[in-house]
Amino acid sequence: MSTIKDRFGVSNLEKVFTSVANSLQEQTANKGELARFSDKALLLHCPSCSADNACHIAQELCDAVDQNIIDIDDQTLPVTITIGIGLINETTECPNEVLDQALSAHNSAQNQAGEEHSHKAYCLYEPVLSEEEKELSDTKRTIQNALDNDGFQLLFQPIVSLKGDTGEHYEALLRLPDIECNLLRPSVFLDVATRMGAMEKIDRWVITQCLKQLVEHCKEGRKTKLTINLSRETMADESVIPWLKAAFDAADLAPSSLTFQLDEDIVSRQLNIANKFLERVKALGSFVSISNFGCSMNQFKTLQYITCDQVKVHGSFALDIQHNGESPDALNSLIRELIKHDKDAIIPCVENSSILATLWKTGAHYIQGHYLQAPETTMSYDFSTDG
């Protein structure tokens, strides 16, 4: 374009651009949306286009422009184009990302054309990833594949009463199988899923699968309850409560069969949103729990503002007693305060029998951990035995 401008001026440059644009418009009429991107570039958006198909279209466009005859001042002007291709896929986080990829590919196409002494070229963006970037890309792909193909997996860990309640109660724990069939814990992939905007879909998948499991338990005459962890995104989603009501109705299950659990950090950072959400959950008939409680500066101030039935204390309290020989005084004090606030206290991370006597003395309502049972794919714990 710079050569044309220098030889024929700006007005003729625009005529050339318009002629090329018209030719490309004819070629892309049924392929996507063509728009002007800059003074010398066009942008073509092709929805649901694979890499192979994009390259095929690029070649067609190059050929079409190459065959287009353009005359300027009675001179036939040979015009060719270079095309950069960026793909929108499950790992794309924003529009600017794919635009940057297309521009990078266009630069590569120009360099390639110069090396091959030809001005007709296209190039598909192929990133050179660091190990960290490759791992991130693989995780995104694995998450999307799991969403598309029910690839997530649920494990269940019993929540056992210290007050003599023999009812079946489990926490549903999400896992993501990787390409080697290792089960990834949420700490590995949830941050990536959040950046992908996938958390609401994941939460709804978990809820749906849990309801299916409970329906099967009802058929067996078992009255099982499940605790499900929810994300910040679901907490802020106005449409989730109507969706939950419809899901309970479709499954013909009482909302009281599920307890929805939010992390204390999520709640404390958005108290008004959290309180509104939790009140709506309670109005629906489900129970509410706060997890990882007890490590913030003003944890009991949080309890003054929000509605909840249960509080699951941070796992570090039990772990420090078991592994570091720390005094249980801090845990005892925390449980006493929770009881004063009329909250059912759950102590997780119970890993050996040596701590059981200490936990009995705290007055906690429930315990949970690998000593009782590691998370399993089935809900098979015998609740008739003492915790």
237 in the same domain as 190? yes
- Measured in degrees and rounded to the nearest 5, phi and psi for residue 223 equal -100, 80
- Residue finishing a domain among 107, 124, 141: 124
297: in domain: yes
Alpha-carbon dihedral 322, 230, 284, 222, rounded to 10 degrees: -60
368: three-class secondary structure by DSSP:
coil
Instruction: Report the alpha-carbon distance of residue 386 to residue 158 in Å, rounded.
Output: 12
Q: Residue 77: is its pLDDT beyond 90? A: no
318 in the same domain as 171? yes
The domain spanning residue 89 has which CATH number? 3.30.70.270
**Is the four-CA dihedral 313, 316, 317, 318 of positive or negative sign?**
positive
383: in domain: no
Give me the percent of the chain exceeding a pLDDT of 70.
Answer: 94
243 in the same domain as 95? no
Do β-strands 168-177 and 153-158 pair in parallel, antiparallel, or remain unpaired?
A: antiparallel
Task: Please give the residue that has the higher pLDDT: either 214 or 77.
Answer: 214
* Mean pLDDT, residues 333-360: 94
181 in the same domain as 72? no
* Mean pLDDT, residues 316-325: 93
Question: Which range has the worst mean pLDDT, 67-71, 95-99, 114-118, 274-278?
Answer: 114-118
- pLDDT score of 29: 83
| Domains: count for the chain | 2
105 in the same domain as 31? yes
373: in domain: no
The domain spanning residue 351 has which CATH number? 3.20.20.450
234 in the same domain as 200? yes
Q: Residue 237: is its pLDDT beyond 60? A: yes
Q: Using alpha carbons, list the distances in angstroms from residue 245 to 179, 238, 280, 307.
A: 36, 13, 11, 19
In terms of C-beta distances under 8 Å and separation of at least 24 residues, what long-range contacts does 132-139 make, across chains too?
136/192, 137/91, 138/178, 138/179, 139/188, 139/189, 139/192
375: in domain: no
Cα 359 → chain centroid:
36
229 in the same domain as 108? no
Q: Which residue has the tokens 């309890």?
A: 303
Alpha-helical runs (H) found in the chain: 2-8, 10-27, 51-67, 95-115, 131-149, 186-195, 199-219, 232-235, 240-251, 264-269, 271-284, 299-305, 316-324, 329-340, 356-362
287 in the same domain as 177? yes
174: in domain: yes
30: in domain: yes
- Residue finishing a domain among 124, 144, 160: 124
264 in the same domain as 187? yes
- pLDDT score of 387: 47
| Average pLDDT value over all residues in the chain | 89
pLDDT band at 385 (very low <50, low <70, confident <90, very high): confident
316 in the same domain as 197? yes
Instruction: Report the alpha-carbon distance of residue 381 to residue 160 in Å, rounded.
Output: 9
196 in the same domain as 174? yes
pTM surpassing 0.75? no
* Mean pLDDT, residues 100-105: 90
374: in domain: no
379: in domain: no
Q: Which domain holds residue 93?
A: 2-124
**How would you class 210 by CB atoms within 10 Å of its CB: exposed for 0-12, middle for 13-18, buried for 19 or more?**
buried
- pLDDT score of 118: 53
pLDDT band at 204 (very low <50, low <70, confident <90, very high): very high
- pLDDT score of 261: 98
187 in the same domain as 330? yes
- CA distance between the termini of the chain: 78
- Give DSSP secondary structure letters for 29-73: TTT-EEEEEETTEEEEE-TT--HHHHHHHHHHHHHHHHH--EEET
- Residue finishing a domain among 93, 124, 155: 124
Tokens of 107: 């630069």
Q: Residue 109: is its pLDDT beyond 90? A: no
Q: Residue 8: is its pLDDT beyond 70? A: no
